[in-house]
Chains A and B, each alone.
Chain A
Amino acid sequence: MLLESLEAHQFRNLSGKISWGKGLNIIYGDNGQGKTNWLEAIYLLATTKSFRTPRLQEAIRFGEDLAVVRGQVSRSRDVQRDLQVTIQGNAKALSVNGKREAVMRYLSQLHTVAFTADELEVIRGGPEARRKFLDRGGISLHHSYVQTLSDYHRVIKQKNQLLHDVSDAEMSIAAARILIEPWNEQLVGLSAIIHRARADYVERLRQALETRLFGREEISIRYVSSLEGKGDLRDYEALIAERLQLRLQAEIASSRALIGPHRDDLEILFDGHDIRTFGSSGQQRSALILLDLAAISVYYLWHGEYPLFLMDDVDAELDRRRIGHLLEYLEGRTQTFVTTSKESLVKQFAARAIVYEVRDGEIVQRATSETDLITTIATGTSII
């Protein structure tokens, strides 16, 4: 898939339309000029979310009440689609070819894998970041998985409240059971779908991992179910149903749902050691890149086309050797968007890239020797 062009109105300090190259796009500019805003707009168009803030209304230009990001995506020579995300207050509207579309369908239109400073949480942070990484992958293969996750979180939220109420009321176990079982019944089915989707995705990642792209170290991953060691994971429904029964009293005592895939984790080992504690900062970044590349391969093997790859502040995240390896690997595969503030980096890769320069929110394509370019200038008004 290819993002042909992007248009932004009142989204941060961006305005106007820009055409993108098919391969490597370098967005260059000093810090604070707004180069990451363009990356954020691409990410928003693909995921309907921002990688910088959970509150999208912050991205609406000050004093305006809505922001629009629109893009033209081509899936093949004949299939072109206009995608649009409109943010208005805390609501957003999604459309494909001018027609309103539900999030589940919308998400199948454009997929990105993004390496951002926040995503390093996958390696360094708690299990939640790793579960989210796997769930993004799960959604990229089966879009209906969005609904499963949303239902699951809703049931957990309801159950937590109920456990709290039941514990507060000092209800008998028998009486509590009658109230809790209708929720547990749903947890069994939803948990099984989530468990299988994640385990399956991890298996695909394992097979796609280029474990030694950056050096001699070996990276290995494994999905760790919180029910591991408690019984036969192959009959997940029966196992979790049994655990829910057995642990009911403990769940009431702690007023929290203790059983389910919201307690699972992804184990990431670098040369056999837990990367979170033993990996150097460079190794941690390498590991994340390898996971992202594996996610790209998995997507390609499933859908027969490559997702977009985004990387914010590439030189802050990786050394030149690793950037070189990475960009070489991606060449001929993904349409890639990276931001940088280093002129030297631009020079190093200018021959195989299209370079855009951002100054005061204004983005201009740099003149290059490439032939198949249409020079496009998008103007933006700066508010910073």
Chain B
Amino acid sequence: MLEYSEPVVKLIDEFKRLPGIGQKTAQRLAFHILRMTNVEVERFVAAMQDVKLKIVMCSVCNNLTDVEPCRFCSSTSRDRSIICVIEEPYNLVAVEKTRSYHGLYHVLHGSLSPIRGMGPEDLRLQNLLPRLRPENNDGVEVLEVILATNPTTEGEATASYISRLLKPLGPRVTRIAMGMPVGSDLEYVDEVTMDKALTNRHEM
């Protein structure tokens, strides 16, 4: 027999699919929704649907955006000769917070991890190489690619893999300096640490 009635169980199961949510939290969230007013629930559902309808992946850099190409790729004030490669769209926020980086981005949407079934073909890499040619970059030559993947073993492997791919093509390939706690996620790195990591980047 089910612990709760079927609709409640279904909602709990949906919450449990979300990252970092276990049985207890899922139950709490489900019962919170039961206590919400209809208007609140509709607003919540609409927000989720909106995000799916209006947010697309930028065809140039894979960043999540509501305009295509994204604001970074279409900006006339960004330095187009430098590309910063990051794992997730939210890593972009950490780099932007430093206010010292003015180049473009490339979002991989993941990192190499055989145990999670993530190989190179599962990363958004196919559209990185064409970007290095001036004709695909408003006539500007890409001089440097900064690999700002997480300082985890997976992030390191990803940086190493990409640097081997890019080096024969000419641009300077650098890796952000590991002044930051090893094994950490850039999501939790403050802007001072991130700024130092960017400034002290080294050749790969």
Contacts and interface: CB of A to CB of B under 8 A. Distances in A.
B114 interface: yes
Contact of A158 (B120, B154, B164): B154
A186 B119 contact: no
Contacts of A183: 153, 157
B179 interface: no
A186 B156 contact: yes
A39 to B, nearest CB: 31
Nearest to A151: B153
Nearest to B181: A102
Interface in B105-159: 112-115, 119-120, 153-154, 156-158
B59 interface: no
A179 B153 CA distance: 14
B157 A151 contact: no
Interface in B171-202: 182-183
A102 to B, nearest CB: 8
Interface residues of B, number: 16
A272 interface: no
Contacts of A155: 153, 157
A182 B114 contact: no
B164 A178 contact: yes
B164 A161 contact: no
B161 interface: yes
A186 B114 contact: no
Interface in A155-173: 155, 157-159, 161-162, 165
A147 B114 CA distance: 21
Contact of B115 (A158, A182, A185, A186): A158
B25 interface: no
B74 interface: no
A186 B155 CA distance: 11
A182 B182 contact: no
A182 B156 CA distance: 8
B100 interface: no
B75 interface: no
B158 A182 contact: yes
A118 interface: no
Given A150-B183, A151-B153, A185 B113 contact: no
Contacts of A150: 183
Contacts of B182: 147, 151
Given A151-B182, A181-B164, A161 B114 contact: yes
Given A150-B183, A151-B182, A151-B183, A186 B153 contact: yes
Nearest to A164: B114
B49 interface: no
B114 A158 contact: yes
A154 interface: yes
B77 to A, nearest CB: 35
A125 to B, nearest CB: 27
B153 A185 contact: no
Q: Report which residue of B113, B153, B157, B182 has the largest number of chain A beta carbons within 10 angstroms of its beta carbon.
A: B153
Contacts of B153: 151, 154-155, 158, 183, 186
Interface string A130-166: 0000000000000000010011001101110110010
Nearest to B182: A147
Nearest to A104: B181
A254 to B, nearest CB: 16
B119 A182 contact: no
A181 B160 contact: yes
B157 A158 contact: yes
Q: Which 8 A/B pairs are nearest by Cβ-Cβ distance?
A: A182-B160, A161-B114, A182-B157, A162-B114, A182-B161, A161-B115, A154-B153, A155-B153
Given A165-B119, A181-B160, 5 more contacts: A155-B153, A182-B164, A183-B157, A185-B160, A186-B160
8 contacts: A155-B157, A161-B114, A165-B119, A179-B120, A179-B161, A183-B153, A183-B157, A185-B157
